[in-house]
Amino acid sequence: MRILGIESSCDETGVAVYDSDQGLLAHALHSQVALHAEYGGVVPELASRDHVRKTIPLIDHCLKQAALTKTDIDGIAFTAGPGLLGALLVGASIGRSLAWAWGIPAVGVHHMEGHLLAPMLEETPPAFPFVALLVSGGHTQLVKVEGIGQYEMLGESIDDAAGEAFDKTAKLLDLGYPGGPALAKLATEGDPTRFKFPRPMTDRPGLEFSFSGLKTFALNTWQKHPDEKANIARAFEDAVVDTLAIKCKRALQQTGLKRLVIAGGVSANTHLREKLAELTSSLGGEVYYPRPEFCTDNGAMIAFAGTQRLLHGQHEEIAIKAQARWPMESLSAI
């Protein structure tokens, strides 16, 4: 089965073709960073308009890249939520309509399930069951995963997501948009022993996170030490990475599982990947993550997740649907 995947939930248009026998055949991404940079963050209406401009050309590009035509496609997967509603509706409208015109099934994919399954695009995919740490711009979640669609939420952020904390702190430190990668880059030049930031909510039991206090901590420190931006970036990153690692350790111990999957934009963070590799090896387990380009938003993860659901006969009725909010635990098992 050969599936065309479309991702348009936020500020990246991603398209890919996944073949259930041959694997990934093509993928392409258009980032809107340049479009939103002058506003210091994502402008939803501009995001939607850009998805309108870019989706069809990217589909053409992917089909050409894989030397395929529309008749070679057996189904279409598009991100149906969660995300910016206008942006989601672009991918949903194009995906659902093309599937109707081509006489093939379409399936709406949950964006976070896409992230969660992205490590399965790699050479050594994780086997079920595992604990997943999903760290993106909108979500920070620890999930016990028994199979596709079998998700038990172990804990999540009660305020800012990890990626959001990176972005907001970067903005306060004048590092621009998108801030996460810029802050991480600056942190590599910082002295890890100079400042020590708190590890929020690690002094009590539980798997909830709270990252909103760290940005204020970073700002206050910067006001006192204006020449030490790199050291502050390093202290902030260490605090986030450590906090995530402490909660991952608890989740693995609580569930008795050995395999840990990390996915979502922040899983591209080198320091986090190293820390979690150390942690899982000290526990006799293993960590799995996508290649960096599939940590952040992309069409390949949507094509892959959609393929799994279409293979099990799931598909949408003839209606265009998207939802800005959509709890992952409500997904059906396959």
Residue in 16, 297, 300, 328 binding Zn ion, rule: CB under 5 A: 297
Give yes or no for residue 95 binding ligand KG4 (CB under 6 A).
no
Residue type, position 331, single letter: L
Nearer to Zn ion, 19 or 164 (CB): 164
Residues numbered 71 to 130 that lie near Zn ion (CB under 5 A) are none
Q: Closest Cα to residue 44, out of 5, 83, 95?
A: 83
Residue in 121, 154, 268, 322 binding ligand KG4, rule: CB under 6 A: 268
Nearer to ligand KG4, 33 or 68 (CB): 33
Give yes or no for residue 231 binding ligand KG4 (CB under 6 A).
no
Q: Closest Cα to residue 114, out of 62, 66, 77?
A: 77
> Rounded to whole angstroms, how far apart are CA atoms 103 and 228?
60
Residue in 95, 105, 137, 200 binding ligand KG4, rule: CB under 6 A: 137
Min dist. Cβ of residue 296 to ligand KG4 (A):
3
Q: Which stretch binds ligand KG4 (CB under 6 A): 21-29, 49-57, 242-250, 261-269?
A: 261-269
Nearer to ligand KG4, 147 or 176 (CB): 176
Give yes or no for residue 178 binding ligand KG4 (CB under 6 A).
yes
Which alpha helices (DSSP H) does the chain contain, by range? 33-37, 44-65, 85-102, 111-117, 162-172, 179-187, 212-224, 229-255, 270-282, 299-311
Decide if 82 contacts 323 (C-beta within 8 A): yes
Size of residue set near ligand KG4 by CB under 6 A: 21
Please give the torsion angle defined by the CA atoms of residues 103, 108, 114 and 120, in that order, rounded to the nearest 10 degrees: -40
Residue in 113, 160, 167, 238 binding ligand KG4, rule: CB under 6 A: 167
Query: Using only C-alpha atoms, what is the Rg of the chain?
Result: 20
Q: Is 299 helix (H, G, I), strand (E, B) or coil?
A: helix
Residues in the chain: 334
Q: Is 167 helix (H, G, I), strand (E, B) or coil?
A: helix
Give yes or no for residue 190 binding ligand KG4 (CB under 6 A).
no
Give yes or no for residue 136 binding Zn ion (CB under 5 A).
yes
Write out the residues near ligand KG4 by the rule CB under 6 A.
10, 115, 136-138, 163-164, 166-167, 178-181, 184, 264-266, 268-269, 296-297
Write out the residues near Zn ion by the rule CB under 5 A.
136, 297
